[in-house]
Amino acid sequence: MRLPPILRNGLLALALLLAPALPALARGSIERVEIVGLEGDEAIEQNVRLALGLDDTLGQVHGESRLEYLLLRAEKEARQALEPFGYYSPQIRVDAPRDEGDRIVVTIHIDKGEPVKVRDAHVAIVGPGGEDQYLRRDLEAFHPVPGEVFDHGVYEGHKDGITRRLAERGYFDADFMQRQVRVTRADASADIDLVWDSGFRYDMGPTTFHQDYFRPGLLDKLVTWEEGSYFHQGKLDRLRESLVRLDYFSAIDIQVKPEEADEDLRVPVEVNLVLAKRNIYTAGLSYGTESGTGVRFGVERRYVNDRGHKLNWDMDWAQKRKTFLTQYRIPAFAWLDGWYAFSLGAYDEQTDYIDLRNVKLSASRSGEINQHWTAVASLNALRERWSYDMDLATGQRLYTYSTLLYPELTATYVDVDDRLFPRRGISATAVLRGGVENVGSDTSFIQGQLTATWFKGLGQSDRLIVRGEAGSTWTSELVAMPPSLRFFAGGDRSIRGYAWREVGPRTADDFALGAKNVLTGSVEYERYFGGGPWGGAVFVDAGDAFDDEFDPHVGVGIGARWRSPVGPVRIDIAHGLDHPDSGFQIYLSLGANL
């Protein structure tokens, strides 16, 4: 059938008019998404953005039906993203105007409305766990409580915390009797009904070590609990820490087997261990402004025999300074986890200002008192020879000799939030040593030294570091005290802006003698850019090494910081204010400096 010419021409004209418009109506792309109404609520806004599927489609061209679906879904996604923060009745409007290029800017207007608050909260533990004082404290600290906004994150965090605590304290059969939150949107209220049945508490059963090298019974000494005592995860954590410190194993897997508990509810513990590589070799180059260029070698034998003994050799051979140390260690598990150690060290320094050699023998017992305190008690025999100048008549060195036999006690306290990059806490080390004349020593002396560092986090990642050192020697013959036991000041761990041993009593030729006393302090502020790993620092150091009169020297400087995976790397440039014409000192150091 043929259409009349007038009708056929009319339809063709209409098609030509509509053709250019159809793509504009049917297709479009979302340019960006803006959220209005959540200013100042960064956490809520972030959660809304994460929930929006629109962000995954930015820049993509979609048909009209797909666009309508995305915009309708955006309102639902935003509404659901507000609920975890207690907002169940928000007002949400989605605007999506097009520009001439069919690009769409989506604006989501959000009025959170009134938050849902807790009206009633029934949180309890029935069974023996209900009488556990630590679990009762967790119940008392549970949030949100009546009157508070029902925040899902807070609720889940406290609920999961109690569940974990039940397992940590040996209530392996614990389960929920009630676990319900009823939200009434009309009243903007939430009722919490949360009840655990703790079941019986399990006890510590037999501990079995699975390894095929060390003699039976050696590792059993690390088990600090009695079989049949109550179960607590902290006991296993301490065992793991002790095994890690031994450094015998490359993998440590501690498994609790409540399903294999006996009729007395004693839980067996299995410790699966993988032996680490026996020998560790180290080598490197060294350089110091006074010591010159050198090489370093080291060998650590993690285990010498099936008794767990260890052996170390370390040598630093530089142009003007040489050190050698060998140490043999035997594990000590009685009383405190630690080591019996026997060491031999030799030191030789031939610099412009001193000719010094010494040999030192030590026998020590180290131990960990608790998670913060460690201690080392040692007996030391030191033979030292040194010379500052020459005999002008003979051209020979004028040597002084000293022999000392003395006990030493070192105590270290560390309580920080992060040992690699502490932002809160304090660390301190105290040393006390002394000898008696004619009882192995050429002179009687008592010497004490205390160093401490305080860390205070500021803002997101900045920190304030305050450090101090104090030491004193009581002796009737300072001349008999060898340089290795005298106090010096200056350098990166003392007073920056001055060279190592620059501050303190001097010889007639302006060489450092060492002093009876030392007192130094430092205040440093570190600023990290954008919370990232790179930052800078400003600092002021002051102090003195002195015999009688305290004459503080002050140094100021700036530094660059990099928070590396193995600890902070610091480059400092400092200048001593007591010698305006002196040059700048540059220091490079690595580690947390606890």
Residues 281-297 pLDDT 10s: 999 998 877 788 999 99
More confident residue, 2 or 418: 418
pLDDT of residue 20: 40
pLDDT of residue 117: 94
Distance separating alpha carbons of residues 88 and 78, to the nearest angstrom:
11
Contacts 24+ apart (CB under 8 A), 91-99: 96/30, 96/67, 96/71, 98/28
Q: Decide if 318 contacts 337 (C-beta within 8 A).
A: no
Of the given ranges (359-373, 432-446, 580-594), which has the lowest mean pLDDT? 580-594
User: Is 50 exceeded by the pLDDT of residue 16?
Assistant: no
Cα 87 to Cα 42, 64, 78, 111, 260, distances in angstroms:
15, 32, 11, 10, 47
User: Is 70 exceeded by the pLDDT of residue 25?
Assistant: no
pLDDT of residue 394: 76
Strand partners, 190: 118, 183
User: Is 50 exceeded by the pLDDT of residue 377?
Assistant: yes
Q: Determine the 3-state secondary structure of 502 from DSSP.
A: coil
Of the given ranges (10-24, 143-157, 406-420, 491-505), which has the lowest mean pLDDT? 10-24
Distance separating alpha carbons of residues 408 and 397, to the nearest angstrom:
32
Tens digits of residue pLDDT in 508-533: 777 788 899 999 999 999 999 988 89
Closest to 248 in 3D by CA, of 283, 207, 280, 282 = 280
| Two structure tokens written together for 152 | 């899902």
Q: Decide if 568 contacts 590 (C-beta within 8 A).
A: yes
pLDDT of residue 28: 76
Output the CA torsion 62→63→67→68 (10° steps): -170
Buried b or exposed e, range 197-211, using 16+ CB within 10 angstroms: bbbebbbbbebebee
What is the average per-residue pLDDT within 194-207? 96
Q: Determine the 3-state secondary structure of 329 from DSSP.
A: strand
What is the average per-residue pLDDT within 98-125? 87
pLDDT of residue 508: 74
pLDDT of residue 180: 94
How deeply is 569 buried, as exposed, middle or buried, from its count of CB atoms within 10 A (0-12, 13-18, 19+)?
A: middle
**Arithmetic mean of pLDDT over the chain:** 89
Backbone conformation region of residue 127, classed left if phi is above 0, alpha if psi is from -120 to 50, else beta: left
Distance separating alpha carbons of residues 562 and 535, to the nearest angstrom:
6
User: Is 70 exceeded by the pLDDT of residue 10?
Assistant: no
| Neighbouring residues of 310: CB distance < 8 A, sequence distance ≥ 6 | 300, 301, 302, 303, 304, 327, 328, 329, 339
Distance separating alpha carbons of residues 331 and 28, to the nearest angstrom:
73
Instruction: Report the length, in residues, of the chain.
Output: 594
Distance separating alpha carbons of residues 437 and 423, to the nearest angstrom:
46
Bond preceding residue 568 cis, omega within 30 of 0:
no
More confident residue, 69 or 374: 374
pTM for this prediction: 0.76
Strand partners, 348: 322, 357
| Cα torsion angle, 198, 199, 201, 206, sign | negative
Position 460 confidence tier, pLDDT thresholds 50, 70, 90? confident
Q: What percent of the chain has pLDDT above 70?
A: 94
Distance separating alpha carbons of residues 210 and 266, to the nearest angstrom:
19
What is the average per-residue pLDDT within 82-91? 89
For helices 42-51 and 64-82, angle between their N-to-C axes, nearest 10 degrees: 140
More confident residue, 353 or 348: 348
Q: Decide if 305 contacts 293 (C-beta within 8 A).
A: no
User: Is 50 exceeded by the pLDDT of residue 161?
Assistant: yes
